[in-house]
Amino acid sequence: MRNNIFHKLTRLVLFVLPLLLLWLKATTIILVAATKGPAPQCIDRERNALLDFKSYIDQDPYDFLSTWAVDEETTKDCCKWGGVTCNSRTGHVTSLDLSYGDLEGKISPSLFNLSYLSHLDLQGNSFSGTISMLNGSMTKLRYLDLSKNSFSGVIPMFIGSMTWLKYLDLSTNFFNGSIPVFIGSMTRLRYLDLSYNSFSGSIPPELGLKNLHFLSLNSLSNCTVENIDWLFHHSHLQHLELDGISLAKANHWVNVILSLQRLSYLSLGGCDLWQVMHPYSPSANSNSLSVVSLHLGNNNLNSSMYHWLFPLTSNKLVELDLSSNKLDGIPKYLGNLCSLTSLLFDNNSISVKFPDFLNNLSGCTSVALQVLDASNSQFTGSLSDDIENFPSLQDLNLFHNQLNGTISEKVWRLPNLSTLDVSSNSLSGPISQNIGKSKILQLYLSNNSLEGVPFEAQLSNLSYIEHLDLSSCKLGPHFPKWIQSLKNLTYLDISNANLSDTIPLEFWNMWPSRLTHLNLSSNNITGKVTNLLSNFNLDYNAARIDLSSNNFYGPIPHVSPSLEWLDLSKNKFYGSISFLCQLVDGSLSFLDLSSNLLTGQIPDCLWNLKKLKVLNLGQNNLSGSLPASIGSMTNLEVLYLYNNNFSGELPLSLENCTKLVVLELEDNKFSGHIPIWIGEKLSGLYTLSLASNNFCGTIPAQLCRMVHLRILDLSTNNLYGTIPLCLNNVTAMVHDVFIPFANMHRFIHEHMYLDHALIKWQGRAQEFNTIMGLLTYIDLSNNDLTGNIPYELTDLHELIALNLSMNALHGKIPSKIGQMEKLEILDLSRNKFSGGIPLSMSHMAALNYLDVSCNNLSGRIPSGTQLQSFEPSRYSGNAGLCGNPLTKSCPHDKEVEVLPLVDQSKGGDERTDDLCRWFYIGGATGFAIGFWIACGALLVSHWGRKAFFHFMDSLEDWVYVKVRVFIAKWQCIAHA
């Protein structure tokens, strides 16, 4: 009975209890909803602080802060603004993330009012000035990222008082001075990044913060580590970057690293490790290391480093970077790293046999290795069959080595290989037919002596391939039609491949639909280009087409608006360039249509080309005036319009192209005065060529404001007046201010373009490109300039070529012209210069072209190695000049005197006979002794023989000149 009652009670409890719990839950939800009310909006004071912050922003190119406003289209709740996060209960702003917004301006002090802010990320912007507005009122801040801005000066001291910070990133700014020791007081820091600044001095030991998990001190200008023992305190450190910091004095640094038990990432690139006298002490207590990624590149290391590398490696190592050193191989113990998937051995400068290199990796490493980069090194030998021992290889890069022979057939059978780059070697033979058996995605075979595929059908099986580079191989002479079957192809380069064929018309309509890069340049391909629009990947905004240096003809067809690069130069295209008007909102940043047969005017629709950096329309038959819309191309850096039939004045709108560094308008019919705004607005120009036009008037002094100017060519115009006195304000021609890669323009995906210029050099036209950044050149020839050569011109110590010929300049050549020691070309011919050639010119050792002909110069040509080496014609037309190399002698040359014969008295005959006898005896004896001493010395000493015969040649020349002068004098006397 009792059991039955108990059983019923139990069933009742089990039934009622869930209902009770369900009722309690529902009641709780109702009560919470009733008391909670609507979600809180942001605090008024904090919203106003954010609006004030926005008012300090000068540029917001992507409308990053467009929602930061209070109007009909936006919300007053700043918690819903872009980049702002608030606390869901209190409404206080807790996070502000404006990273990578390309914002420009200053940081407003209104950030003080965000007192509950715990996360601040402003990286990837261009804030300038200091960061002194951050003070102790932001006590909630835990995360501070101010990297990649433009802060300068020293790190403000108040940051050291922000001891609650756990995350601090000040990287990629312009901080200088020494790293402040007060950072050592920030004991809660777990993440510290000071990399890419301009700090100097020694790394302070106060950085030994025991709670740090991440420490990056990359690229700190001139920092060193005197003692690395401060790292012993980093028991939690997992990630350490010291790239670029000298560890030359850090003895036993390996032992210190081994003490960091949790370290998984270590990067010591460019740390002068080769200078460390005692990097490792085997006797010291060392723990096993758990480093997964180890980077030791750019340390000038040789193979003696392998004794201390051993304790740093373990079976946990996944990535090993030994690039940019002087290693002549690798030890066999690296072949036993069973977890190693990536080995970087590129840019090593010692010769290594590639088969031996593979053999030393033949342990369990060969099974695990997925990435092997040995590019830009000195590997020799062949790509042998040993490669089959690396079945996991996905990426094999052997670019730019000295490999020879054929490519092993085993390469194409590697089951996981997706990228193979063996370009720029000495490989030869036919491209294997087994290439079609590979599932390779990216294949680079360029710059070898490889020949065309013997069975094209085999290559068409490469249905997976995306990148194919066969440039500078021997594919020709027929055009490879199999390309059309590679439907996944995105990148194709078969330039300079000995193709000499007519391209099939259907190619332009049937090429691979995913193609984004097509290079057929430097072949002998002919035919019409019917379509550059269809089947091109319109979703890719960095597409490139290069058909230059072929024999394509016909009008230029429509092109894809997704093109970033279009080069049709050096062909036979004709007709107009009206297709430019169809590139609405396009991505075009490079356009070269030079050296064709194009006609008509430039259409006035260039506002479509706002992204264009390089425009080359040179050497065509284009005509008319330049359209006003040319000023819409505000990103333009290079403009070539040379050798056309353009006319009229330069449009004022061109002054808006303030990024121009090269402006070449020579060989046209432009007229009017040289605009003064060229010097005022285009101050960044380093090349300005207006030669062979119809410009008139004086040379504007505003050109002197172009401090970067290195090439100035105003020749063959109708300019008059004097040479500006202010040319010594052009800094690039006065001081050695060479800027590396000044003539290089970078595009998407690391593509680059080098400027070029056609310059009259030593009397003939010559094209310069790679060394344009070194050239300094002024040509004002063939105008109507008058006046003297200003003495300020001699301050241009960096000038290499100066041409002032065919003007009406007069006066004397400046006496200090010899100070222009780098001058190689000086042409002052066909002017009205008078006086003598300055003596200082005899010291111009670099001078190899001089022309002062057809002036009114007079006096002796100064003696000097260079001045006497030029042809006499370089001095002709100056009636008053004399001296070598001219045949005309100078009036004050010393004449050879002829002594009269004197009849001696008979009383002295006997004494004279005795003197003559002893004179002949002594002379004969001395001659014999001296002769044999000289001969013996000449037989023994190579240097002596060379000096002697050089002296004899000089003596012969001197005697010859004196005799000719003597004869000429007597002829003049006889004629008189």
Instruction: List all residues 6 or more positions away from 923 whose beta carbon is below 8 Å from its beta carbon.
Output: none
Of 632 and 946, more confident: 632
Average pLDDT, the chain: 82
Residue for token pair 């700190």:
220
Q: Let me know: does 477 contact 452? Beta carbons within 8 Å.
A: no
Which backbone phi and psi does 810 adopt, to 5 degrees? -140, -175
For residue 455, which phi and psi values (nearest 5 degrees)?
A: -125, 100
How far, in Å, CA of 710 to CA of 738, rounded?
Answer: 10
pLDDT at 913: 45
pLDDT confidence band for 901 (50 / 70 / 90): very low
- Note the pLDDT of residue 31: 41
Alpha-carbon separation of residue 433 from 120, 322, 360, 417 (angstroms): 59, 35, 30, 17
Which range (456-465, 588-597, 826-835) has the least confidence?
456-465
Query: Is 134 a residue whose pLDDT tops 70?
Result: no
Whole-number percent of the chain with pLDDT over 70: 79
Higher pLDDT, 887 or 533: 887
Q: Kindly state the average pLDDT of the residues 275-302.
A: 85
The pLDDT of residue 914 is above 60: no
CA distance 876 to 125: 64
pLDDT band with cut points at 50, 70 and 90 for residue 559? confident
Stronger pLDDT, 289 or 125, i.e. the higher one: 125
For residues 294 and 210, give the distance between their C-alpha atoms in angstroms, rounded to a whole number. Answer: 22
Q: Tokens representing 406?
A: 């054929």
CA–CA gap between residue 728 and residue 796 (Å, rounded): 6
On whether the pTM is more than 0.85, the answer is no
Tell me what the mean pLDDT of segment 364-386 comes to: 94
Per-residue pLDDT tens digits for 924-959: 555 555 555 555 555 445 445 555 554 555 455 455
Confidence check: pLDDT of 907 > 50: no
Which residues neighbour 393 within 8 Å (Cβ) at sequence distance 6 or greater?
369, 370, 371, 372, 387, 414, 416, 417
With a cut of 90, say whether residue 173 has pLDDT above it.
no
pLDDT digits (tens, 9 = 90+) for 264-281: 999 999 999 999 999 998
- pLDDT score at 962: 52
Q: Of the spans 18-27, 42-51, 554-563, 963-972, which averages the highest pLDDT?
A: 42-51
Q: Tokens standing for 144?
A: 């501070």
pLDDT at 512 > cutoff 80: no
Q: Which residue has the higher pLDDT, 406 or 290?
A: 406
Nearest residue to 833 via CA among 797, 789, 864, 802? 789
What does the H/E/C string look like for 776-796?
CEEECCCCEECCCCCHHHHHC
The residue among 493, 608, 503 whose CA lies nearest residue 559 is: 608
Model confidence at 902: pLDDT above 50:
no
Q: Sign of the CA dihedral 963, 966, 972, 976?
A: negative
Query: Higher confidence at residue 111 or residue 887?
Result: 887
Most confident option among 561-575, 734-748, 949-963: 561-575
Asked whether residue 37 carries a pLDDT value surpassing 60, the answer given is no
Q: What is the per-residue pLDDT for 857?
A: 95
Spatial distance between the Cα atoms of 587 and 337, rounded to a whole number of angstroms: 47
**DSSP sequence for 34-60:** HHH-SPPPPPHHHHHHHHHHHHTEEE-
Give the whole-angstrom CA distance, residue 754 versus residue 737.
19
Predicted pLDDT at 968: 46
In this prediction, residues 127-154 reach a mean pLDDT of: 74
CA separation, residue 119 to residues 42, 78, 141, 211 (Å): 16, 16, 6, 19
Q: How many CB atoms lie within 10 A of CB 256?
A: 18
Phi–psi pair at 260, nearest 5 degrees: -90, 90
Residue 911's pLDDT is what? 42
Cα separation, 421 vs 417, in Å, equals 11
The residues near 202 (Cβ < 8 Å, ≥ 6 apart) are 178, 223, 224, 225, 226
Share of the chain above pLDDT 90, in %: 45
Query: Pick the residue with more confidence: 905 or 511?
Result: 511
Segment 367-390 mean pLDDT: 94
Higher local confidence (pLDDT), 697 or 99: 697
Q: For residues 308 and 437, give the distance between their C-alpha atoms in angstroms, rounded to a whole number.
A: 43
According to the model, what pLDDT value does residue 118 have? Answer: 85
User: Is residue 221 pLDDT above 70, yes or no?
Assistant: yes
Angle between helices 942-975 and 909-940 (to 10 degrees): 130
| pLDDT over 90 (residue 546) | yes
If one compares 512 and 276, the residue with the highest pLDDT of the two is: 276
Phi-psi region of 818 (alpha: psi -120 to 50; beta: other; left: phi over 0): alpha
Alpha carbon of 89 to those of 42, 79, 93: distances in Å? 10, 12, 11
pLDDT computed for residue 837 by the predictor:
93
> What is the pLDDT averaged over residues 570-597?
90
Which of 535, 646, 549 lies closest to 594 in space, CA to CA?
549
What's the whole-number mean pLDDT along residues 514-526? 90
CB atoms within 10 A of CB 739: 11
